[in-house]
A and B are shown apart, each in its own frame.
Chain A
Amino acid sequence: MNYFPTPFQTRRAFLGRVSHGVGAVALASLLEKSSSLHAASARPAARGVVYPLPLPQKAKRVIWLTMAGGPSQFETFDPKPKLAELHGEAMPESLTRGQQLAQLQGQRLVCHAPQFPFAKFGKNQTEICSLFPHIGSVVDDICIIRSMTTDAINHDPAHMFMNTGSQIAGRPSMGAWVNYGLGSEAENLPGFVVMVSTGPGRSPQPIATRQWSSGFLPSRFQGVQLNGRGDAVHYLTNPGRVSRAQQGADVQAITALNRQHDAFVHDPEIATRIAQYEMAFQMQASVPELTDLRGEDARTLALYGCTPGDGSFAANCLLARRLAERGVRFIQLYHRDWDHHSLLKEELPLRAKEVDQACAALLTDLKQRGMLDDTLVVWTGEFGRTPMSQGNKGTVGRDHHNKSMSMWLAGGGVQRGRVYGATDELGYAAMENICTVHDLHATMLHQLGIRPDAFTVKFQGLDAKLTGVEGGGVIEGILA
């Protein structure tokens, strides 16, 4: 089967390039100080600025599952029996004095027991919350980090920090960095695709396009959102009842007229423009083909537990696999509504149900296709939650927390069946093998074959890095 019967030229076209003005800086580095003219022809399309790769490439692509809102580690991956014992008692002040609080500012801090039992899964008998039996069934394929921390404690800055390594808007997100560094192998698709699942849910936290922005990198590295309903990509559908043949005729005429004009003005930008029109025209066919899940067999649909076209997290996981197969470098899924200040006991199980089977299915599916080895899958929120209860809006929940959070990784050269790091006995702060978001980014880049501290772009006079000014250390302890 040939999904993408396109000539080399269109592949190059998708990568496009920045011309005049060149927003900043980035171009100079991008083109290694050569002229913008030579770049397009000298550099093969799929290649990014990091070439040859300085490190062995363990992961070729990333699927990043963002649990937006901040899932509680106490009801997911960090068992804390001691917290259950102290349920209802005051939180020891030695832990909390002088620390940041979000909505619990000025309130009495009370221990809140884990709300669901934990169970042991897999041959390593890894303890995770019983709400995640499917993830439990593949727990020997994943590596849980219980000692993650972050700097931010409000949703918006915390997402920015997790996605860009900075709490200041305007920085490139990790998907943009990775495509900038490695280029894309996708023929007729962008190298960075974002999907936000739709679902029942309550009133979830907002998500902004800045979370997948290319920041100061050229615009072509920005994440393209694939919509669950309507046009999968904005403006993908022809107006009225204009047929594909008619659209093709128009694109052909545009190309012909652009060529005729180029004969007079010799503007190298015109060749790129022509290629982008061909690319757009190809996308109008390739994107609907991509998002059409009817070709998936019943077994696969059952594995994920999704109905094609429902925009669910499960359907998006299946799409993520299809995107990965097509060479998309960075795929980011958002599943919202993990912000359980209240109704933790009532709502969290619903979220768990929405993602549990799908996550396990994604890993299983990648594995059976031989793709898990070179795909790095990451599951994380933007921060963790407090061991203290929050009850200012009726039934009990937990507040935002940045001193401890749990997450997991799989594939891409990460150890399997591993639990890494630990929090104190009440789960307030990471204690052992403390990890930062910068470390997580550094580890991801390392697995992709990039040296995190040498991967820089000049911005505002600095050698800006995904891993921030402070830099991050590769989490060697989780690598296979």
Chain B
Amino acid sequence: MSCRSVVLLFPLLSFWPAFGAEVGIPAQIEFNRDVRPLLADNCFACHGPDAANRQGKLRLDVREAALAKEAFFPGKPAESELVVRIHSQDKDEMMPPPDSHKKLSARDKAVLARWIAQGAEYQNHWAYERPVKAAIPAGANAIDTLVARRLITVRMKPSPEADRRTLIRRLTSDLIGLPPTPAEVAAFMADATPDAYARLVDRLLADPRYGERMAVGWLDLVRFADTIGYHSDNPRNVWPYRDWVIQSFNTNKRFDRFTLEQIAGDLLPDASVETRVGSAFNRLLLSTEEGGAQPKDYEARMMADRVRAIGTAWLGQTTGCAQCHDHKFDPFTTRDFYSLGAFFADVKEPLVGRREEGMPVTTPEQTARLAELREAVAAARKNVAALATHIDAAQAAWEAHGQVSAASSQNDLPREVAAALKKVAMKRTAKDQQTVKAHFRTQVSSVARGELDRLAEAERAQQAFVDGVPHCLVTEAAAVARTVRVLPRGNWMDETGEIVKPGLPAYLPQPDFAGRALTRLDLGRWLVARENPLTARVFANRLWKQFFGTALSRVPSDLGAQGEPPPNGPLLDWLACEFMDTGWDVKQLVRVIVTSTTYRQVSTATPTQLAADPDNREYARQGRPRFEAEGVRDAALAVGGLLSPQIGGPSVKPYQPDRYWENLNFPPRDYAVDRGDAQYRRGLYVWWQRSFLHPSLLAFDAPSREECVAERNRSNLPQQALVLLNDPTYVEAARALAARIVSEGGGTTEARLTLAWSRALQRPPRAEEVRTATGLLDEHLRLYRADPAAASALLATGDLPLPAGLSAEARAELAAWTHVARVLLNLHEFITRE
């Protein structure tokens, strides 16, 4: 250390208290909150867990190791190498080095120096410690208590409760993904009983559309899609899994069981059709049919895909980088990566090529019926087998006779039979023998024919029945699992790596398995074990985001060193503990969140709040997220009265621009638009073509589901305006809404507008809005009265038939109201959860 640096440092050190207060440096530095993020982002890449790339044998992620290398002297920042280096201007000395393009701010440097001054204490990474449930005063709401505690320290005040109309609109959108009906709003607003809100929550949680709403986020996480993804992107059978997710949320399947069925639904002691459908989770990854694809290459890709999925969906750990090298920021090693991947080495599947049809997904009655049919086939087979000797003898006799007369009666025999018969028995090929045998049994012998017909009939009946039930790719364990090796630098062509068995990440707490071979069942149980510090936090963090728009720890897919220690850690911990304490009861956790005062606050921000907490990390108000892609579609269809109430079933194909699939191939594909009810299904049922997702969903940030996604973008783009203005789905919804306005809204424009507003926005229009809408209506009405053909053209959008016998005036009126309805469906308010 040069003397110059020390001299320069002292004036800085002496100013710390004042300086610190000014820029908000905490008086007491906390390693996890203040220091680890700085070290992780700026230092760990070279001085962290990845031994292979460690520089100067120095690691800063372990205190003892850092002390051993004299990186710093606790209590003596000015004498500490770390402090000197981060202040150095010398290109060879300064840290982080210039070529890392990393820079510590003056505040960062002051934090590190103060941390050393205070003793340079470390903490274990917050998310790897078991969550601790904060003590809450009896009778108090834990969420409100913990949010309030935090608000006091950041000197903010909570917001008042939102009005009733906003509350029912918010709650209905959050819990079932749809706008409430005017009648539901009116009933809630009129309900003066003290438990009106709690009963509303209960009603919505019991609504089967709750499962549909909750499924959307989970389907993103597990990358559910109707097609395989790579190259030809052909269809595969997985939609029953989507319905399984919906049903699981609706029946409030406990999250631990929900987890187990997905990872090991085939291995459960009580495995059933239902749990096996859950195990489709293991099949949802990308696969290829591309010619020239090497099985070993795709074996490696698929294994890595599965490890990333577990990391994103359950552990909140970024694992992908450990495919090639030890994680640079978290203690997740390459060995952990391949050991975790080895759990899935028993999944039976083609590594390259077409997916199989999958398991018939039968109801209990169908299962029984199928068993009967299978028995019938088995019985018929048995009969054929029993007669075999007898029939073979008859065949021999016939051949003896047949060969003699073959020459004369050749015309009666199929050519290949005759040809085979011409040869002496010794010279016949296996195929010849088969030909003769088949001919005799089906055409000649009446005994054989009878039994064979019965067998064929039984097989036909079974096949017809199987064809009539849905199929789903599921997990089936192979008797012999694939061998899994650590792939050096992720290179699948390198087979020198160590062979690994299924194993859990070594840095996380786990039971002593005493050397027993582990299965997917062990993995599933461990993910939801009480000692697993991650899963419950990860789930609670995501759930919070769903109800507030921002997560407690900013990045839902990463609770590691490069993620964010939650500003309100006790709150996340409390939710995680509560979730586990209630036996992983999802509906209960939802209920706890939405009944809190915190949830019920207004979402409008005061200028002070916006300045102090622009991203609403402290929850002194509610968030104002735009609806997700599916929610935008569902709201328009619902308000137009078009939405089909059907739950589940095969995916559907709504209107889509012509030729949108023209760049798909092997084979080329036509997009066959669904007609009737299937046209008006909820967004989550739309056919999920990974390489060409429906453009309207894509415009509103629905992910292609090629990789697991824990949070969607929420963008605000001109393409969204084009969709809402011009996509026939939305124009048709506007037309349907207009028809209701005209037929049910009464005679006056104002009454009609009141109906329109109450259906679309669940409130009456304000005077100014009435003026704007009336002006618009009159303008279009004038145009359409003058040009009836234009009215008819607009009203021809979509399949929905027009009421019969409409006069030109009625058409003009309906067309003009379609514009008003269209404007409503395009409003920011219409697609925003307030």
Q: Do residues B701 and A241 form an inter-chain contact, with CB atoms below 8 A?
A: no
Q: Is A123 an interface residue (CB 8 A)?
A: no
Q: Do residues A266 and B714 form an inter-chain contact, with CB atoms below 8 A?
A: no
Q: Do residues B711 and A23 form an inter-chain contact, with CB atoms below 8 A?
A: yes
Q: Do residues A249 and B776 form an inter-chain contact, with CB atoms below 8 A?
A: yes
Say which size band chain A's interface belongs to: 35 or more
For A203, what are the chain B residues with a Cβ–Cβ distance below 8 Å? 665-666, 668
Q: Do residues A241 and B794 form an inter-chain contact, with CB atoms below 8 A?
A: yes
For A251, what are the chain B residues with a Cβ–Cβ distance below 8 Å? 721, 725
Distance of A257 Cα from B779 Cα, bound (Å): 17
Q: Do residues B731 and A276 form an inter-chain contact, with CB atoms below 8 A?
A: no
Distance of A238 Cα from B329 Cα, bound (Å): 51
Q: Do residues B562 and A240 form an inter-chain contact, with CB atoms below 8 A?
A: no
Distance of A30 Cα from B321 Cα, bound (Å): 23
> How far, in Å, is A95 (CB) from chain B's closest CB?
16
Q: Do residues A21 and B550 form an inter-chain contact, with CB atoms below 8 A?
A: yes
Q: Is A413 an interface residue (CB 8 A)?
A: no
Q: Do residues A23 and B615 form an inter-chain contact, with CB atoms below 8 A?
A: no
Stretch from A129-137, A206-214, A404-412 at the B interface: A206-214
List residues 212-253 of chain A with CB under 8 A from any CB of chain B.
Answer: 213, 218-220, 224, 227, 229-231, 233-243, 246-247, 249-251, 253
Contact string against B for A residues 19-49, beta-carbon threshold 8 Å, 1 for contact and 0 otherwise: 1111111001000000111100000000000
Q: Is A18 an interface residue (CB 8 A)?
A: yes
> How far, in Å, is A462 (CB) from chain B's closest CB?
6
A23-B713, A235-B726, A469-B321 known; A276 and B549 CB under 8 Å?
no
For B607, what are the chain A residues with a Cβ–Cβ distance below 8 Å? 266
> How far, in Å, is B750 (CB) from chain A's closest CB?
16
Q: Do residues B604 and A266 form an inter-chain contact, with CB atoms below 8 A?
A: yes
Q: Is B173 an interface residue (CB 8 A)?
A: no
List residues 251-287 of chain A with CB under 8 A from any CB of chain B.
Answer: 251, 253-254, 256-258, 260-261, 264-270, 272-273, 276-277, 279-281, 283-284
> How far, in Å, is A179 (CB) from chain B's closest CB?
13
A21-B545, A241-B789 known; A208 and B233 CB under 8 Å?
yes
> How far, in Å, is A44 (CB) from chain B's closest CB?
18
B625 touches which one: A20, A37, A242, A451 (CB < 8 A)? Answer: A20
Distance of A352 Cα from B290 Cα, bound (Å): 25
Q: Whose C-beta in chain A lies nearest to the C-beta of B658?
A: A230
Q: Is B174 an interface residue (CB 8 A)?
A: no
Q: Whose C-beta in chain B lies nearest to the C-beta of A13?
A: B718
Q: Do residues A460 and B318 form an inter-chain contact, with CB atoms below 8 A?
A: yes
Q: Do residues A21 and B549 form an inter-chain contact, with CB atoms below 8 A?
A: yes
Q: Do residues A260 and B615 form an inter-chain contact, with CB atoms below 8 A?
A: no
Q: Is B780 an interface residue (CB 8 A)?
A: yes
Q: Do residues A283 and B718 form an inter-chain contact, with CB atoms below 8 A?
A: yes
For A153, what are the chain B residues with a Cβ–Cβ distance below 8 Å? 292, 294
For A204, what are the chain B residues with a Cβ–Cβ distance below 8 Å? 665
Distance of A266 Cα from B711 Cα, bound (Å): 26
For B775, what are the chain A residues with a Cβ–Cβ distance below 8 Å? 253
Stretch from A98-106, A321-329, A365-373 at the B interface: A98-106
Q: Is A395 an interface residue (CB 8 A)?
A: no
Q: Is A14 an interface residue (CB 8 A)?
A: yes
Distance of A167 Cα from B793 Cα, bound (Å): 47
Q: Is A57 an interface residue (CB 8 A)?
A: no
> How far, in Å, is A227 (CB) from chain B's closest CB?
7
> How far, in Å, is B626 (CB) from chain A's closest CB?
7
A267 touches which one: B657, B728, B822, B828 (CB < 8 A)? Answer: B828
The binding surface of chain B is classed by DSSP as loop
Q: Is A349 an interface residue (CB 8 A)?
A: no
Q: Is A205 an interface residue (CB 8 A)?
A: yes
For B623, what are the chain A residues with a Cβ–Cβ distance below 8 Å? 20
A249 touches which one: B294, B318, B625, B779 (CB < 8 A)? Answer: B779
A240-B794, A253-B776 known; A208 and B692 CB under 8 Å?
yes
For B776, what are the chain A residues with a Cβ–Cβ distance below 8 Å? 249-250, 253
Stretch from B261-269, B353-361, B425-433, B552-560 at the A interface: B552-560
Q: Do residues A235 and B562 form an inter-chain contact, with CB atoms below 8 A?
A: no
Distance of A19 Cα from B290 Cα, bound (Å): 39
Q: Do residues B101 and A213 form an inter-chain contact, with CB atoms below 8 A?
A: no
Say which size band chain B's interface belongs to: 35 or more
Distance of A98 Cα from B793 Cα, bound (Å): 65
Q: Is A156 an interface residue (CB 8 A)?
A: yes
B795 touches which one: A208, A237, A240, A246 (CB < 8 A)? Answer: A240
Q: Do residues B711 and A24 form an inter-chain contact, with CB atoms below 8 A?
A: yes
Q: Is A305 an interface residue (CB 8 A)?
A: no
For B696, what are the chain A residues with a Cβ–Cβ distance below 8 Å? 235
Distance of A399 Cα from B775 Cα, bound (Å): 66
List residues 669-725 of chain B with CB under 8 A from any CB of chain A.
Answer: 690-693, 695-696, 698-699, 701, 704, 706-707, 709, 711-723, 725
Distance of A249 Cα from B775 Cα, bound (Å): 10
Distance of A324 Cα from B831 Cα, bound (Å): 35
For A277, what are the chain B residues with a Cβ–Cβ distance below 8 Å? 718, 721, 826
A206-B666, A239-B728, A246-B780 known; A20 and B101 CB under 8 Å?
no
Q: Do residues B828 and A155 form an inter-chain contact, with CB atoms below 8 A?
A: no
Q: Do residues A210 and B716 form an inter-chain contact, with CB atoms below 8 A?
A: no
Q: Do residues A238 and B726 form an inter-chain contact, with CB atoms below 8 A?
A: yes
Q: Is A80 an interface residue (CB 8 A)?
A: no
Q: Is A356 an interface residue (CB 8 A)?
A: no
Q: Do residues B624 and A458 form an inter-chain contact, with CB atoms below 8 A?
A: no
For B790, what are the chain A residues with a Cβ–Cβ distance below 8 Å? 240-243
Q: Do residues A103 and B291 form an inter-chain contact, with CB atoms below 8 A?
A: yes
B794 touches which one: A169, A239, A461 (CB < 8 A)? Answer: A239
Distance of A393 Cα from B693 Cα, bound (Å): 33
Distance of A268 Cα from B833 Cα, bound (Å): 15
A36-B615, A240-B795 known; A16 and B716 CB under 8 Å?
yes
B713 touches which one: A38, A218, A247 (CB < 8 A)? Answer: A218
A462 touches which one: B318, B668, B827 (CB < 8 A)? Answer: B318
Q: Is B773 an interface residue (CB 8 A)?
A: yes
> How far, in Å, is A57 (CB) from chain B's closest CB?
19
For B787, what are the chain A residues with a Cβ–Cβ distance below 8 Å? 241
Distance of A38 Cα from B324 Cα, bound (Å): 40
Name the residue among B545, B550, B615, B819 with the largest chain A CB count within 10 angstroms. Answer: B615
- Between A and B, 19 residue pairs with Cβ closer than 8 Å are A18-B716, A20-B625, A21-B549, A23-B714, A105-B292, A154-B231, A155-B290, A169-B706, A207-B691, A209-B698, A219-B717, A240-B794, A243-B790, A253-B772, A253-B773, A266-B605, A269-B832, A460-B558, A462-B328
**Supplied contacts A230-B659, A246-B783, A253-B773, 19 more A-B pairs, CB within 8 Å:** A13-B718, A21-B713, A23-B712, A35-B614, A101-B294, A103-B291, A155-B290, A169-B704, A206-B232, A206-B663, A227-B659, A234-B722, A237-B726, A242-B794, A250-B822, A250-B823, A260-B766, A261-B827, A461-B329
The 7 closest A-B pairs by CB, nearest first: A102-B292, A35-B614, A461-B562, A208-B691, A240-B794, A23-B713, A169-B706
